[in-house]
A = this chain, B = another copy of it.
Amino acid sequence: MGLKFKPLADRVVVEPAAAETKTASGLYIPDSAKEKPQQGKVIAVGKGTKKHDMTVKTGDSVLYGKFSGTELKLDGKDYLIMREDEILGIL
């Protein structure tokens, strides 16, 4: 939460949820559905660009495609960094 990393442009840092979790909103991702969208929590949000205003906020639970983003290790924890347009929606 006190993450000091500031993503550039329209990028978002996401902390992936543990796999196979049945979340509060009832999302369930079975082990066999490897290409299904994944769930995570937004940790840091860029300022956007001239063409793209940001929508998600820090703390939002989001869904994103299985192959979205680039792995990133910060303070010893694993995150993903992706363009906001790779996020499908907010739970």
Contacts and interface: CB of A to CB of B under 8 A. Distances in A.
Contacts of A87: 8
| Size bracket, chain A contacts | 35 or more
A31 interface: no
A71 B65 CA distance: 10
A28 to B, nearest CB: 6
A58 to B, nearest CB: 14
B8 A84 contact: yes
Contacts of A9: 55, 85
Interface of A: 4-9, 11, 13, 25-29, 33, 36-37, 44, 46-47, 49-53, 55-56, 63, 65, 70-76, 81, 84-85, 87-91
